[in-house]
Amino acid sequence: MREKKGQSATELLVLAGFSVAFILPLVFLFMSSSNSELGKTAFSQAKATTRTIADEAGEIYLQGYGAKKTILVNYPQGVINGSAENGVVALTVDADGRRVDVLSATFAPLKGNLSGRRTAGLQRIKIENMGDYVNVTYG
pLDDT at 130: 94
CA–CA gap between residue 92 and residue 103 (Å, rounded): 9
pLDDT of 33 strictly over 70: no
pLDDT tens figures, 36-85: 666 778 888 999 999 999 999 999 999 999 999 999 999 988 888 899 99
C-alpha distance across the termini of the chain, in Å: 79
Contacts of 80 (CB under 8 A, 6+ apart): 92, 93, 94, 99, 117
pLDDT of 13 strictly over 90: no
104 in Cβ contact with 51 (< 8 Å): yes
pLDDT at 31: 66
